[in-house]
C-alpha cells in the first residue's frame, strides 16, 4: 500500500513568494562590507523576508538552503543551519549549505523547490552569499593534479577570465567591440532602472562598520559605474591575455553580497495569504567543456525548454547572469536574439550590479518576479547563468499576472 501511495503522488505547484537581497559591495579592504561577516549578511536577508511577510509563522519554515562557493570561515559551518539560528528561527527549523559555484543560490532554489513539489516541505528559504573580499574564489582549494596531468581539462579552465577569452576564440563574431557595447548598455539600463524605482525596493539596508570610518549604512549597490561609454571601455587593460578582449569593464567584478527568497507550494500560499511572485515551470543544468564554461546556459536552456515543451519564442523575459559580456552574447547569437533585444536584462545585469558568485541566482529570480508585476503580456521568463568548471543552469518561470496576448 505504501508503495502504491508513493507511486501515485502528484507533484505540487511551487511558488516563488518573494525575494530580497543586500546591496552588493565591492570586494576588498575599501568595500562597504570589508569588516562585515558573510553570515551576518545572510541573517539580514532572512530577517527581512520574515519582516516583510508577518503572515508566515517562522515555525512553518521547513528548510533553509544557503549557498556559498567558498565554504570556509564565516561562509562555512553549514551556513544554512547556522544562519537560521542566528536569524532567530526556531531551533526546529533545519538548514544546509550548498555549492555549485556561481549557480549556488539557483541550485538552492531548485533543490528546495523539488522538495516542495515532492511534498517533503511546504515552505523553504533559499539563497546564497559570497564575501569575495574575505574569501577569494579558490581560497584553500587543492585541485587534483590529475586534472592537468591526465589532460582532463585545459589549464585555462580554472581561471574564469581565461575561459571568457576562450569563448571569444570560439565565437569570433563576438568581438570586443560588441562586448564593450553590451557592457555599456548594461550600465545604462541599470542606471535607468534605479532612477525609475525598479531596483531598490528589494534591497535590505545593512549596517556596516569600519574601524577607520565608524558606522555606516549600505543602502545601494556599490559596483555600478553610471555614465560608462564604449569609448571609455575601449582602452581598458586585458588582464587575462595580452591584447585580449576581456576587461574589467565588460565583465562582472569581485563582489560581496547575499540574497534570499521564500518558496512554498500553492496550497500553503493560499492558506497563509502569501503573495505569488511567480510559479516554477521547470529547470535544467548541463555540463560543457570547462575551458568554455560561459557557453553553459545554451545547453541548459535547450534542455529546460525541451523538457517543458516550450521554445524560446514562448519566453518573454530573459534574466541572464552577466559574468562576462561574451558569454551573454554567445547565448544570444545561438538563439538568434539581438544584442539589444528588450526581453534581455531590461534592468541591467551583473556587469553593473555585481556578481557575488553563489548569491546571484536569486538576484536574477527576484528581478524577474518584479518585472512580471508590470508585464501582464508576458507568460514565461527564464533565469539562466554559466557556472565554473563547465556548467550552465536555467530555470523557467510563469507569470501569475499573465492575462494573455503575449509571450
Cα 180–Cα 182–Cα 188 angle in degrees, nearest 5: 105
- The residues, any chain, with a CB within 8 Å of residue 60's CB and separated by 6 or more, are 122, 123, 268, 272
Question: For the chain, what is the mean pLDDT?
Answer: 96
Percent of the chain with pLDDT over 90: 93
Q: Where are the domains of the chain?
A: 10-135+146-397
Joined together, the cell numbers standing for residue 2 give 505504501
261 catalytic per annotation? no
Looking at the predicted structure, is the pLDDT value of residue 1 above 50?
no
Candidate list 102, 135, 168, 261, residue with the active-site label: 102
Model confidence pLDDT, tens digit, residues 130-165: 999 999 998 999 999 999 899 999 999 989 999 999
Distance CA 96, CA 90 (A): 15
Give me the phi and psi of 328, to 5 degrees please: -65, -45
Over range 341-366, report the average pLDDT: 98
Looking at the domain that runs over 10-135+146-397, which CATH code has it been given? 3.40.47.10
Give me the phi and psi of 288, to 5 degrees please: -140, 180
Over range 246-257, report the average pLDDT: 98
Residue keyed to cell 501569475: 400
Model confidence pLDDT, tens digit, residues 286-325: 999 999 999 999 999 999 999 999 999 999 999 999 999 9
Amino acid at each position: 500500500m505504501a508503495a502504491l501511495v508513493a507511486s501515485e503522488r502528484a507533484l505540487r505547484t511551487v511558488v516563488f513568494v518573494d525575494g530580497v537581497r543586500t546591496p552588493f559591495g565591492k570586494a576588498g579592504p575599501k568595500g562597504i562590507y570589508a569588516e562585515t561577516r558573510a553570515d551576518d549578511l545572510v541573517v539580514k536577508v532572512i530577517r527581512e523576508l520574515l519582516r516583510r511577510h508577518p503572515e508566515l509563522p517562522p515555525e512553518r519554515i521547513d528548510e533553509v538552503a544557503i549557498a556559498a562557493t567558498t565554504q570556509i570561515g564565516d561562509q562555512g559551518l553549514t551556513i544554512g543551519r547556522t544562519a537560521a539560528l542566528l536569524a532567530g528561527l526556531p531551533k526546529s527549523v533545519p538548514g544546509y549549505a550548498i555549492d555549485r559555484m556561481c549557480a549556488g543560490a539557483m541550485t538552492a532554489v531548485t533543490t528546495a523547490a523539488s522538495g516542495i513539489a515532492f511534498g517533503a516541505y511546504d515552505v523553504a528559504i533559499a539563497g546564497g552569499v559570497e564575501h569575495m573580499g574575505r574569501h577569494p574564489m579558490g581560497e584553500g582549494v587543492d585541485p587534483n593534479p590529475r586534472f592537468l596531468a591526465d589532460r582532463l581539462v585545459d589549464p585555462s579552465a580554472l581561471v574564469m577570465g581565461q575561459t571568457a577569452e576562450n569563448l571569444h576564440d570560439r565565437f569570433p563574431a563576438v568581438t570586443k567591440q560588441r562586448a564593450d557595447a553590451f557592457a555599456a548598455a548594461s550600465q545604462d539600463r541599470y542606471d535607468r532602472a534605479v532612477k525609475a524605482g525598479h531596483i531598490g525596493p528589494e534591497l535590505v539596508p545593512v549596517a556596516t562598520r569600519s574601524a577607520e570610518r565608524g558606522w555606516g549604512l549600505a543602502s545601494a549597490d556599490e559596483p555600478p559605474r553610471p555614465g560608462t561609454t564604449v569609448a571609455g571601455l575601449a582602452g581598458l587593460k586585458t588582464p587575462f591575455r595580452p591584447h585580449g578582449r576581456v576587461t574589467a569593464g565588460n565583465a562582472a567584478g569581485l563582489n560581496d553580497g547575499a540574497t534570499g527568497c521564500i518558496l512554498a507550494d500553492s496550497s500553503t500560499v493560499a492558506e497563509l495569504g502569501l503573495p505569488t511572485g511567480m510559479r516554477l515551470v521547470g529547470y535544467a543544468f548541463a555540463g560543457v567543456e570547462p575551458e568554455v564554461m560561459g557557453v553553459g546556459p545554451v545547453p541548459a536552456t535547450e534542455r529546460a525548454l525541451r523538457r517543458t515543451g516550450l521554445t524560446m519564442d514562448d519566453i518573454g523575459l530573459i534574466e541572464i547572469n552577466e559574468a562576462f559580456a561574451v558569454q551573454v552574447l554567445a547565448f544570444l547569437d545561438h538563439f538568434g536574439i539581438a544584442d539589444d533585444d528588450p526581453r534581455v536584462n531590461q534592468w541591467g545585469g551583473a556587469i553593473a550590479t555585481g556578481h557575488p558568485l553563489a548569491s546571484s541566482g536569486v538576484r536574477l529570480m527576484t528581478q524577474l518576479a518584479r518585472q512580471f508585476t508590470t508585464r501582464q503580456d508576458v507568460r514565461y521568463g527564464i533565469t539562466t547563468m554559466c557556472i565554473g568548471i563547465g556548467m550552465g543552469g536555467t530555470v523557467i518561470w510563469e507569470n501569475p499576472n499573465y492575462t494573455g496576448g503575449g509571450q
